Every structure is written in C-alpha cells, then in structure tokens.
Amino acid sequence: MLQSMQKNEFWPKGVPQTLRVPQVTLNHYLLTAAQRYPDKPALIFCQREVSYAELHGSVEAMAAWMQHELGVQRGDRVLLMSQNSPEFVIAYFAALRAGAAIVPVNPMCTVQEVQYYAEDSGARVAFVAQDLLPHVEPLLKSAGGAHLEALIVHAYASALTPEGIQDLPEAMRYAAQPLSQPGMHAFEQALQWQGAVQETGVGADDLAVLPYTSGTTGHPKGCYHSHSTMLASNVGSQVWRGLNVDSVFLAVAPLFHMLGMQNGMNMPLTLGATIVLMPRWNAAHAVELVERYRVTAWTAPPAMVLEFFAQPSAQTRDLSSLAMLSGGGAAMPESVAAMLAERFGLSYNEAYGLTETAAFLHANPMQRGKRQCLGIPTQSVESRIIDPATLQELPQGEVGEIVTRGPQVMKEYWRNEAANREAFIELDGKRFFRTGDLAMVDEEGYFFMRDRLKRMINVSGYKVWPAEVEAMMYEHPAVYEACIIGTPDPKRGESVVAVIVLKPSHEGAVSEQDIIDWARERMAVYKSPREVRFVSELAKSGTGKIMWRELQEQENRRTAESSNTV
C-alpha cells in the first residue's frame, strides 16, 4: 500500500485527525493571556520574573514607538539579532504588533551574512543586542552602510538584579553603553513611550516570520511564514502532547531558530504558560532551573538532553516535575533513550519538522513512540515517500524522499521563484513540498529517517546513510558522540569515516581499531567505518545539532589538497 493511505491504527486517542487552525494573529494570544492571567509569570530570566501584564505592556509601548518614531508599518520586515532574553520576546511581538514581520538572525552571523539578510528581506530596521553591534552597525546608513536606517539596541543586564546578572554568561553582563551613532536607539528608552498602537489590519495570512534556511548550496532562502502557518504548527503540537496553561517550559534552544522560537516561546505564550528562559546552554545550570521552577516540559535536540542527564547533579536533584521531553533534528541514541526510561521514567518524544514547516510536522504518538523514529504525520498533514528522480510514489519499506503538505508548510520561498519551482511539486492535484530528506515507512506507518538527500555515501554502488550508522555507533559503550562522513576511495568510490568523542571513562582504553572491529561485527561491511578518528569534541550549531556538514567540508578540502600535492 502506498503511503498516501495514512489511516494509522496507532493514532493517539483524543487527538483529532484534522487541525482547526485559529484565524487570528500570534499577538491575539499574548493579549488574551494578559487579560486572563495578568499577574502570572510569562517569563523567568536570570531570577527576573516578567508577568503577562508587564510583557504585554512592553510590547504595546515598543510597537507604538516603532510606528511613530520609525514609521514601521504593515508588511515591513524587521531584523532581530540577539541571544535568548526578555528583550528578544518583546522585540519579536512588538514588530508583529506594529504590522511588520520578523527576520530572525543567528547571533553568530558575520557582517556579510547580516547584510545578505537585510538585502534579501528588504529590512530597514533591526533589533540588536549590544554585544552584537559590531556585526550590524556597519550596515547602518549613518555609518556608511546602504541598508539599515535604524537600530534598536538592548543590553541583557539592564533590567536584572546584581544576583541575576551573575546567571548571565560573562560576555552578556555589560551594562547599557551610550549610543552616539545617529540611527541608534536605546531599547529601554523606547519602552517608555506612552502613545497607543495604530491598528494595522494584519490578519492570519499576513507575513509574520521570515526565517532563512542554511541550505546545502547557494545563498540561504527566506521561508514565508504567516501567522496561520506558525499557529498551525504551534497548536498542533500543544494538542498532540497534552500541554496546558499550567505547563512550565524550559526554553534553552535559541529563539532565532524554529525549534526554540516555536517550542520555547510561541507555544507557551499561546497557552498562557510560563517560560523559564536560559540565555545560553549550560547543562549544570539547566538542572538547577528544572528543580527550582518545577519545569514540566522541555524540547531540545538529543545532544542537549544527553549532556543534561550526564551532569552529576542530575542524579541528586529533584527532577520529578519533568513530564514531557521532546525534540528532533537527530535521532536519540538507543542507549540514552533506555537510560531515560529506566532511571527517570521519561520517554523522549521524537518528532520531525523543518524551517519550512515551522517546526512541528511529524511526531511519535505519546503512548506508543518508536525510538530513532520520525513518527507519523500529525493533524491535517499528508506525507508520502517518492523516488527523488522520477517523483513516483514508492511502496512501504522502500527508501525515498519525504514530500509533505499541511497547514504549517510555508507559503513559498521569499522572492525566489527558481527555488519554489524545485521545492514544490503536484501529486494527484495537490501541492507537496519536497523536504530533501530520505526516509522509509514501516508496516505500521511510522517514518524512519535515512538521511539528507545530498548526504548519502556511495560505497561500491551501495548506499550508506550516515544517520543509520551513527545510531549504531552509539551502541558502543565507549562512544559519547559520533558523526559519520564520507571520504574518497580509489577502489570503492567512497569510504565511511567515523569521527568519535569517547566517554571520559574510556579514553586511552579503546583504540580506533577496536571500534572498527566492533562495527564490522554489527553491520554490513560496506556500512562499517574503515577509518575512526578520535576528537575531544564535535562542533555543534546553536541548537545543539552536530555540524556534520562542516566536518564533511573539512574532509573534502583535506582530500582535495592531498590530491593536489601528489
């Protein structure tokens, strides 16, 4: 049977098959929560509590100031470059309230990268944290740049007590500095504005967020997300996971990224729940916060979860409030999943989504999840497996590309018709998005990732999917983290290389050959690593994902240089 027939007998009870998407904006929910729970903490950040009434008031003041002083209006795009902080949340919702859309920018971006986002999006206003000014100030017109007319600058420490400032990473502890450059405006001063917001008429289908995908080749592409597509993902996840107004969320993943933006900010605020917001990832401090604030829900990639529960304090502190762990982006290693179940009574609800789908797309049923699995298509989502070359749908059990449709799928790539022609196809008269992810569906309708379409390693004509090998490598008792890459091989075309971080207890006790021999006993010889490299750590993105592409590119450069010297 083809995957388009998606009636799944393991569909979670009480969850409707069809999603009813609210026809309102994201700001509607912030106003509603402020009216219902004015004194309730919306945000807890470095010992500072921000009530719903205070958060809503700040958003209204900032939005009105943006309209009056900067001329921000419906349809404008506003850059936002900051670490996790209350200022990020205020800026995000203020821009939306003023009728504009947010362009979230990774704080690690260079001036050139920020310039590209400003140029491509057409943004003329930016919110920026004080410590990140060197990456944005050169783009200010008053500084000789050609793109930005105004910068709204905030300092993380401004509203914190001395005790709270100590919870900030050292690089984020600086007090607000004077702004002498024309076109720069102090965030705190803008919050003092007394005027009212002018209604914009923005509706559910208007542009809300324009996140940029990293992409495998070429420039990043902007994903056109409306209030409706953002809410479809948001509300669908709430219902699927049984979250409610009394949930307490640990927000660790960066808010500029869809994982953090949706699960750590938009979802809890839509619910009227409480967010415990961390400025940056610190595993030991995260353990303290879960106990102190009785955190109930946490969404994070497996690497963060692994580090969290590896902390000695995780064995002694009271973490009993934690009821829902979820995430995606990489498969949860079997050994870690077993540890969570046996020691803490927790299951990791693995899910699947992309920037183009505003995060939540597939998920495992809460009561019948499968490990290292993308789960099943969620409410109103239809996904199929097709041959990426012929675009023909494939039978159950065969590996092909995931294509999908649902109310959370972006409208289009921003001003990029060539990319849209490649990304969207029509099947049976329906518009599907090509994810670029390779997967297969088992006999029960669960989807299993095999890898990115462009990441496959070809060994003597056999297809090797690194994610599958990585999952197997984690079964070795000495392996703490693993990343699989390919390297050119004159006989086989390519060979498999395992880049491994050993557990401290096994350093010096296990050799590269030991790992190779162990792997060959457990997987087909063409899948087994022919080379193992031990490293002290693996580079990770801001959301905790292992940066396999960076390792692969380093290997490609190394082999190219080697061949040039021969």
Is residue 431 domain-shared with residue 516, that is, in the same domain? no
> Residue 9's pLDDT is what?
85
Question: In this structure, are residues 473 and 500 in contact, taking their beta carbons and an 8 Å threshold?
Answer: yes
Question: In this structure, are residues 98 and 197 in contact, taking their beta carbons and an 8 Å threshold?
Answer: yes
CATH assignment at residue 485: 3.30.300.30
17 assigned to some structural domain = no
Is residue 51 domain-shared with residue 199, that is, in the same domain? yes
Q: Where do the DSSP E strands lie in 387-475?
A: 400-405, 424-427, 430-441, 447-452, 457-459, 462-464
CATH assignment at residue 34: 3.40.50.980
CA distance 200 to 78: 16
Is residue 274 domain-shared with residue 190, that is, in the same domain? no
Is residue 175 domain-shared with residue 53, that is, in the same domain? yes
CA distance 411 to 414: 9
- Taking 80 as the threshold, does the pLDDT of residue 415 lie above it? yes
> Residue 423's pLDDT is what?
95
Is residue 201 domain-shared with residue 263, that is, in the same domain? no
440: pLDDT confidence band, cut at 50, 70 and 90?
very high
The distance in angstroms from the start CA to the end CA of the chain is: 53
Question: Which pair of structure tokens corresponds to residue 79?
Answer: 């850059």
43: pLDDT confidence band, cut at 50, 70 and 90?
very high
18 assigned to some structural domain = no
217: pLDDT confidence band, cut at 50, 70 and 90?
very low
> Residue 6's pLDDT is what?
53
- Taking 50 as the threshold, does the pLDDT of residue 3 lie above it? no
pLDDT digit string, tens, across residues 81-127: 999 999 999 999 999 999 999 999 988 888 888 999 999 999 999 99
- Taking 90 as the threshold, does the pLDDT of residue 566 lie above it? no
Question: In this structure, are residues 360 and 408 in contact, taking their beta carbons and an 8 Å threshold?
Answer: yes
- Taking 90 as the threshold, does the pLDDT of residue 331 lie above it? no
pTM of the predicted structure, to 2 decimals: 0.85
Provide, rounded to the nearest whole percent, the portion of the chain with pLDDT above 90: 75
**Antiparallel, parallel or unpaired: β 248-251 and 297-299:** parallel
Is residue 262 domain-shared with residue 367, that is, in the same domain? yes
CA distance 549 to 558: 14
21 assigned to some structural domain = no
- Taking 80 as the threshold, does the pLDDT of residue 543 lie above it? no
CATH assignment at residue 319: 3.40.50.12780
Range 456-469 average pLDDT = 78
**Of the residues 200, 223, 246, which one is the last residue of a structural domain?**
223
336: pLDDT confidence band, cut at 50, 70 and 90?
confident
- Taking 70 as the threshold, does the pLDDT of residue 513 lie above it? yes
**Of the residues 161, 188, 223, which one is the last residue of a structural domain?**
223
> Residue 371's pLDDT is what?
84
- Taking 70 as the threshold, does the pLDDT of residue 2 lie above it? no
Is residue 250 domain-shared with residue 353, that is, in the same domain? yes
Is residue 340 domain-shared with residue 468, that is, in the same domain? no
11 assigned to some structural domain = no
What is the average pLDDT score of the chain?
92
Q: Where do the DSSP E strands lie in 341-429?
A: 348-352, 362-363, 376-377, 382-386, 400-405, 424-427
129 assigned to some structural domain = yes
> Residue 5's pLDDT is what?
40
Is residue 410 domain-shared with residue 490, that is, in the same domain? no
289: pLDDT confidence band, cut at 50, 70 and 90?
very high
- Taking 60 as the threshold, does the pLDDT of residue 157 lie above it? yes
Range 257-286 average pLDDT = 96
1 assigned to some structural domain = no
Angle between helices 86-97 and 52-70 (to 10 degrees): 60
> Residue 465's pLDDT is what?
77
Q: Which domain holds residue 465?
A: 455-565
Output 370 or 61, whichever has higher pLDDT: 61
Is residue 188 domain-shared with residue 302, that is, in the same domain? no
Is residue 254 domain-shared with residue 214, that is, in the same domain? no
Question: In this structure, are residues 276 and 303 in contact, taking their beta carbons and an 8 Å threshold?
Answer: no
Distances (CA, A) of 473 to 340, 407, 506, 549: 19, 37, 15, 19
372: pLDDT confidence band, cut at 50, 70 and 90?
confident
Weakest-pLDDT range from 136-140, 179-183, 377-381, 421-425? 179-183
pLDDT digit string, tens, across residues 544-554: 788 888 898 89
> Residue 466's pLDDT is what?
87
**Of the residues 206, 223, 240, which one is the last residue of a structural domain?**
223
Angle at 41 between CA 57 and CA 99, to 5 degrees: 35
- Taking 80 as the threshold, does the pLDDT of residue 344 lie above it? yes
Provide, rounded to the nearest whole percent, the portion of the chain with pLDDT above 70: 96
12 assigned to some structural domain = no
Range 326-334 average pLDDT = 78
302: pLDDT confidence band, cut at 50, 70 and 90?
confident
565: pLDDT confidence band, cut at 50, 70 and 90?
low
Weakest-pLDDT range from 55-69, 414-428, 482-496, 502-516? 482-496
- Taking 70 as the threshold, does the pLDDT of residue 195 lie above it? yes
> Residue 20's pLDDT is what?
96
> Residue 296's pLDDT is what?
97
Q: Which helix (H) or strand (E) holds 497?
A: strand 493-502
The total of structural domains in the chain comes to 3
2 assigned to some structural domain = no
- Taking 90 as the threshold, does the pLDDT of residue 460 lie above it? no
Is residue 162 domain-shared with residue 253, that is, in the same domain? no
Closest CA to 348 of 315, 388, 308: 308
